[in-house]
């Protein structure tokens, strides 16, 4: 791994000293920007077609079922084979699926259920892509730079929320949903190019286990470690009760309560992104593991509390303030929990543990359906307030009922077993 002289900004973002990480990070930065068009186009397409929060919830079900079906398998593959090659395969698959979706929408030959099927397939591919990316990081940067690398990776994804939503909304209004889908394809092309520029980092195949047994060993590893369990549980809570509100159900809230059109809705996403970027800038320069456990708990509770406040306002300016704070809290929680897992999990198990976290993300998506139905039944405002309050209380209760939850980062400074990054 080639090193650049440290000094100035390099000391604040040390992960960028490493060539292969820089290449992959740049590719992911561009990809995340273009995928914003995909994200907003999916939600707007379903909402425009059905006008139903329940159907938006089914969009989450399609995503969640795809993630649930293949995430554990993807994590096992990430711990058995060359992670770079696996990422090239997943990105190529996503390019093919989204390309087909774009063509069908542009030709106006798609219906709701075909769209759900293609979104299911794309989520299945994503469920293998995400754990593989996380498992690759310890081979790109040394252990002491992992929190910074994770923060920068998250920044690459989150920054798109700050700058791209208005452009996505304008694109939807001008070139249509199909055009927005087509724009997102360029991101996969760039990532594939970045991966091909990296040096190959093959991992020896694990011949002692079948893939199924490898999955079982990964589940057993996490289950036997209370701190790992609690990080996953807290991620499940914040995601299942909060994430569907800010992702899948946001279009319904923005149109029904705040009375915004597609452009207005995406401009509101811009405020969420500003808060998220602020959090990533701070965390990317933090550079140490101290206090990560309490950061996970505190940011999770604050995430729920900002949603409660959001649920009590009909004012667009006030909603924008709470939406921005929510973005900062969610991003802080995501970066902190991911960094903590990377530090306390042995390198040989990172892919499988991250896949377990992807399983929790699948439940996040699946929760969109009952929450959407609840919004149709009792009103979206009451749903947001009730669910967000439950989230806040449950997260705050965790350190009160478990010593492991109070000492999440106790092992964060101990060296994780496994191969050192190549130099």
pLDDT tens digits for range 68-83: 777 777 777 777 777 8
Give me the domain span that covers residue 16.
Answer: 10-406
> Could you tell me if residue 126 is inside a domain?
yes
Structure confidence by residue, pLDDT tens digits, 21-36: 888 888 887 777 777 7
Residue 419 forms part of a structural domain: no
Cα–Cα distance, 117 to 71 (Å, whole number): 17
Radius of gyration of the chain (CA): 20
- The number of domains in the chain is 1
User: Alpha-carbon distance 407 to 398, whole Å?
Assistant: 11
d(CA 188, CA 397) in angstroms, rounded, equals: 41
More confident residue, 409 or 141: 141
Q: What burial class does residue 68 get, using C-beta atoms within 10 Å of its C-beta: 0-12 exposed, 13-18 middle, 19+ buried?
A: buried
Confidence of residue 188 (pLDDT cuts 50, 70, 90): confident
Lowest average pLDDT, out of 2-11, 16-25, 366-375, goes to 2-11
The tens digit of pLDDT for each residue in 201-246 reads: 555 445 556 667 777 887 888 888 888 889 888 988 888 888 778 7
Residue 415 has a pLDDT of 44
d(CA 338, CA 153): 11
Cα–Cα distance measured from residue 357 to residue 231, given in angstroms and rounded to the nearest whole number: 9
Sign of the CA dihedral running 333, 354, 186, 194: positive
Alpha-helical regions (H) of 108-210: 112-136, 146-163, 165-174, 176-197
Helices (H) and strands (E) counted in the chain, each on its own, are 18, 0
Q: How far apart are CA 250 and CA 267, in angstroms?
A: 12
Confirm whether 182 is domain-assigned: yes
Q: Look at residue 411 and tell me if it is in a domain.
A: no
Inside any domain, residue 285:
yes
CA dihedral 379, 382, 388, 390 (to 10 degrees): -110
CATH code (residue 160): 1.20.1250.20
Is residue 233 included in any domain, yes or no? yes
pTM as predicted: 0.70
Q: Among all chains, which residue has been given the structure tokens 């001008």?
A: 174
* Within a domain: 2: no
Q: Kindly report the number of other CB atoms within 10 A of residue 107's CB atom.
A: 9
Query: Mean of the pLDDT values across residues 96-121?
Result: 86
Pair 18, 140: CB distance under 8 Å: yes
Whole-angstrom Cα distance, residue 382 to residue 371? 11
Largest CA distance in the chain: 60
The residue behind tokens 């530090």 is 343
130 compared with 418, residue with greater pLDDT: 130
Model confidence pLDDT, tens digit, residues 293-344? 888 999 999 999 999 988 888 888 888 888 889 989 988 898 888 888 878 8
Higher pLDDT, 2 or 209: 209
For residues 420 and 236, which has the higher predicted lDDT (pLDDT)? Answer: 236
């Amino acid at each position: 791994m080639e090193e650049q002289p440290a000094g100035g900004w390099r000391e604040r973002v040390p992960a960028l000293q490493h060539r292969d990480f820089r290449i992959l990070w740049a590719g992911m930065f561009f990809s995340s920007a273009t995928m914003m068009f995909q994200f907003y186009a999916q939600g707007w397409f379903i909402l425009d077609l059905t006008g139903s929060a329940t159907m938006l919830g089914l969009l989450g079900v399609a995503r969640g079922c795809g993630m649930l079906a293949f995430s554990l398998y993807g994590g096992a593959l990430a711990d058995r084979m060359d992670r770079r090659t696996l990422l090239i395969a997943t990105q190529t698959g996503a390019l093919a699926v989204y390309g087909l979706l774009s063509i069908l929408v542009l030709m106006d030959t798609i219906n709701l259920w075909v769209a759900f099927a293609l979104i299911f397939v794309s989520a299945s591919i994503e469920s293998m892509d995400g754990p593989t990316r996380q498992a690759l990081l310890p081979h790109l940067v040394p252990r002491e730079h992992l929190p910074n690398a994770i923060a920068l990776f998250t920044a690459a994804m989150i920054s798109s929320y700050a700058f791209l939503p208005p452009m996505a909304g304008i694109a939807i209004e001008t070139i249509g949903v199909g055009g927005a889908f087509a724009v997102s394809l360029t991101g996969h092309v760039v990532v594939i190019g970045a991966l091909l520029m990296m040096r190959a980092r093959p991992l020896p195949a694990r011949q002692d286990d079948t893939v199924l047994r490898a999955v079982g060993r990964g589940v057993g590893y996490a289950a036997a470690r209370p701190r790992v369990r609690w990080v996953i549980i807290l991620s499940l809570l914040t995601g299942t009760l909060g994430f569907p509100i800010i992702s899948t159900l946001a279009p319904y809230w923005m149109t029904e309560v705040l009375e915004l059109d597609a452009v207005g809705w995406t401009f509101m996403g811009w405020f969420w992104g500003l808060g998220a970027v602020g959090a990533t800038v701070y965390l990317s320069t933090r550079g140490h593991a101290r206090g990560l456990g309490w950061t996970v708990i505190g940011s999770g509770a604050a995430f729920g509390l900002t949603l409660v406040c959001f649920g009590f306002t009909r004012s667009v300016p006030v909603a924008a303030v709470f939406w921005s704070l929510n973005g900062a809290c969610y991003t802080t929680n995501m970066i902190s929990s991911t960094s903590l897992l990377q530090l306390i999990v042995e390198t040989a198990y990172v892919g499988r543990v991250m896949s377990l976290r992807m399983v929790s993300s699948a439940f996040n998506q699946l929760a969109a359906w009952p929450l959407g139905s609840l919004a149709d039944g009792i009103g979206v405002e009451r749903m947001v307030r009730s669910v967000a309050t439950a989230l806040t209380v449950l997260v705050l209760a965790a350190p009160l009922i478990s010593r492991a939850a109070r000492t999440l980062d106790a092992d964060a400074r101990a060296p994780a077993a496994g191969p050192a990054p190549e130099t």
